[in-house]
Structure 1
Amino acid sequence: MPVEPSPIALAVAPSGAGRPLVLLHGWGLSSLVFSPLRAALGEGLRVIAPDLRGHGRSPAAPSATLEDHVADLVALFERLELREALLAGWSLGAQVALAAVPRLAPRLAGLALLAGTPRFTRAEGWECGLPASTVEAMALRFRRDPARVLSRFFDGMFAPGEASPEAVRRRSEELLLAAPPPSEAAALAGLDQLLRVDLRGDLAGVAAPALVLHGDADAVCPPGAGAYLAERLPRARLVRLAGAGHAPFVTRPAECARALARFAGELP
């Protein structure tokens, strides 16, 4: 019999007022990656950006599966008494958001998926992902030199010409050094999630309005993944960002903030 995940209290620093906007970061990083976006959003939303377990300032735990992240998120919603919230996930965080929808549906007004995908690696009938060997190699390299892997992953999130090398390096240093690195267990579990999780069969059951925000030069989660989400989610709208890579909220925070704020304003 499977063991029920035991939630932990995630570290979170809310800001602003209004409708709750919960931001879930991606693999290997922390909520600090949303700093440019939070600044661009201003005060119109109550922004809540937790660190996933084993990341940033949240405690580590023996297990960090997708189910664990969902349990932590549900506990956060209950602890903060969040209702009519907009749940936004980026990359791996988008998978956590999608997986949490069935348990959070009564508390959600909408869902936003930033550079998200229902399946990260390629499979039969699914070419909108990276080869599984790429993720497996990352796991091997992470065990040897985690700091180098995190730095290279961050650098690879940006499309050619999207940002100057100096700006990328400066932002990488700011974000990677400002927060503690992820625990080895959490980082490796996250790579295992990216390797194995497939949420394509769950999309039709998502009743909440959804915004799919995707860069058309995303080399980590190809643009076809965003188009697939927009086609399969029953109430989705796709916003393509021309020339943007995997983290447009870092290079074009004002544009992303406008899209999120507009979507939040349209929700009932």
Structure 2
Amino acid sequence: MPKTRYARASDGVSIAYQVIGDGPRDLVWVPGWISNVEAAWGEPTMARFFERLASFSRLILFDKRGTGLSDSVPDAELPSLETRTDDVRSVCDAIGSEQVTLLGVSEGAPMCLLFAATYPARTTAVILFGGYARRLQAPDYPWGTTMEQQQAFLEEIERDWGGPVGLDSRAPSKLRDARFRENWARYLRQGASPGAVLALTRMNAEIDVRPILSTIRVPTLVLHRSGDRVIPVGAGRYLAEGISNASFVELTGDDHLPWIGDTDAVLGEIEEFLTGVRSRPESNRVLATVLFTDIVGSTQRAAELGDAAWTDVLTAHHARVRDELARFGGREMRTTGDGFFALFDGPARAIRCALALVDALRLLGLEIRAGLHTGEVELAGDDVEGVAIHIGARIAGLAGTGEVLVSRTIKDLVVGSGLTFRDRGVYMLKGVPDQWQLFAAAIN
């Protein structure tokens, strides 16, 4: 993680910032809503996104005053757009940057536009992702939030702050990812207090920079996902139409956060806009065995035991699974309440681990099922992607109580391992082409 430093604003407030990379262009990341420059590196998807940006720029990250690691301010004195613009200038002065490209996300977009209008000589370009000119709807601006939606969101913050607030609209593709949900909730907690985020959200609702759009004279790239659930894509088109030197690129997907979803498309557009070329990200594809497990009848057991007792059972379950993963060299990728997804570099070890889990968890009064497949996956830090993962999950869904079900691929790879297999027939796996012959594994 880069070292956190502090710039002193004109009124004495300290603004936390980090610098990463040594590219020829200074790129200032202007966050939307709230941020924490150090907590960001704890979320692998965000860390990879920043590292890729830093591969072709000198990337500057900062926390707005009143958020993250910057000085806190009274809720009634949270900064206006003008003050936030001055804070960006203070950070640029602190690192000796005379000209910058601004990359604004969501609420960061109006701030970038005001900076470009106020300091055109210091702005080489502007990039906006999921941005807007006005937050609330108006008779002549249908793409904003209604007053009812705004009030509902404020009530959600008051009621649920500390949890993954707003995740359903900001990263719907990660809604069922327990690890990401936990990281998002932690990032929000470390980004702002409940009072501060309420005041900030109310203040952001008043933003309207439509009058300055025609004054922007620097090259501008507007990126927006077609299914964005926070800021409709029409808001992005409005920005591009109002800025004379703007290009608009509509991307597929419905995640509002740029570091989630098809990030290669986002990063490729940004890199090409800044450098004129689009490099291909390095691939880290390996052959691996995926293991999926879940507890059979978990919903019924939870209802019978009650919340407190079921939580104790899950704690014991998780501890036993992690012990067996460590014993057989498995790598935990995610947990989904009562299930695990793990990765192995050898199929025989993965099967033996699954069989050991069936026996070990039965001693706790739990029955599980498991599914395994070996195929090519792409490693990306703490995350993994690939069709093999979907195949493994589908196989697990077909396994019976206490059964370890594997693909034909695995059976053929472990010949001579001392494992035995019973043919379970041929199946169609949802969303996966072709027919798949599956086998129940056991130890000879």
Interval of TM-score (by shorter of Structure 1 and Structure 2): 0.7 to 0.9
Give structure 2 stretches of 5+ with no counterpart: 1-9, 277-444
Counterpart of 1:50 in structure 2 is 62
SS in 2 for 1:21: strand
> For the structure 1 residues 35 and 214, does the alpha-carbon distance in structure 2 shift closer, same or farther, using more than 3 Å as the test?
same
Please say if residues 21 and 87 of structure 1, whose CA atoms lie closer than 8 Å, have aligned partners that are also in contact: yes
Please say if residues 40 and 257 of structure 1, whose CA atoms lie closer than 8 Å, have aligned partners that are also in contact: yes
Q: Going by fraction, where is strand more abundant, 1 or 2?
A: 2
Could you tell me how far apart the structure 2 residues matched to 1:110 and 1:60 are?
30
Please say if residues 10 and 53 of structure 1, whose CA atoms lie closer than 8 Å, have aligned partners that are also in contact: yes
Q: Whose RCO is larger (CA < 8 A, sep 6+)? A: 1
Please say if residues 30 and 104 of structure 2, whose CA atoms lie closer than 8 Å, have aligned partners that are also in contact: yes
Q: Describe how 1:110-129 pairs up with structure 2 within 5 A.
A: 110-129=125-144
SS in 2 for 1:261: helix
> For the structure 1 residues 7 and 171, does the alpha-carbon distance in structure 2 shift closer, same or farther, using more than 3 Å as the test?
farther
Aligned counterpart in structure 2 of residue 173 of structure 1, from 154, 168, 182: 182
What CA RMSD, in Å, does the superposition of the two structures yield over aligned residues?
2.3
Q: Going by fraction, where is helix more abundant, 1 or 2?
A: 1
Could you tell me how far apart the structure 2 residues matched to 1:43 and 1:27 are?
25
> For the structure 1 residues 20 and 208, does the alpha-carbon distance in structure 2 shift closer, same or farther, using more than 3 Å as the test?
same
Could you tell me how far apart the structure 2 residues matched to 1:251 and 1:36 are?
13
TM-score, structure 1 length as denominator?
Answer: 0.87
**Count, aligned residues:** 257
Please say if residues 22 and 54 of structure 2, whose CA atoms lie closer than 8 Å, have aligned partners that are also in contact: no
User: Where do 4+ consecutive residues of structure 1 move more than 4 Å?
Assistant: none
User: What amino acid is aligned across from residue 173 of structure 1 in structure 2?
Assistant: E
Report the alpha carbon displacement of residue 99 of structure 1 after superposing the two structures with TM. 2.0
Counterpart of 2:29 in structure 1 is 23
Please say if residues 66 and 193 of structure 1, whose CA atoms lie closer than 8 Å, have aligned partners that are also in contact: no
Counterpart of 1:206 in structure 2 is 216
Report the alpha carbon displacement of residue 188 of structure 1 after superposing the two structures with TM. 2.5
User: What amino acid is aligned across from residue 167 of structure 2 in structure 1?
Assistant: F
Aligned counterpart in structure 2 of residue 156 of structure 1, from 169, 174, 191: 169
Higher gyration radius (CA): 2
Could you tell me how far apart the structure 2 residues matched to 1:241 and 1:126 are?
22
User: What amino acid is aligned across from residue 138 of structure 1 in structure 2?
Assistant: F
Could you tell me how far apart the structure 2 residues matched to 1:28 and 1:12 are?
14
Could you tell me how far apart the structure 1 residues matched to 2:124 and 2:138 are?
32
Please say if residues 95 and 116 of structure 1, whose CA atoms lie closer than 8 Å, have aligned partners that are also in contact: yes
Q: Describe how 1:183-194 pairs up with structure 2 within 5 A.
A: 183-194=193-204
Please say if residues 216 and 244 of structure 1, whose CA atoms lie closer than 8 Å, have aligned partners that are also in contact: yes
Report the alpha carbon displacement of residue 230 of structure 1 after superposing the two structures with TM. 0.8
Could you tell me how far apart the structure 1 residues matched to 2:160 and 2:149 are?
16
Asked if 1:14 is matched to 2:22, the reply is no
| 1:122-168 Cα shifts (integer Å, max 9, x gaps) | 011110111122223323443344224xx131232135xxx25333x
The percentage of aligned residue pairs carrying the same residue is 26
Could you tell me how far apart the structure 2 residues matched to 1:77 and 1:186 are?
25
Aligned counterpart in structure 1 of residue 253 of structure 2, from 243, 246, 264: 243
Give structure 1 stretches of 5+ with no counterpart: none
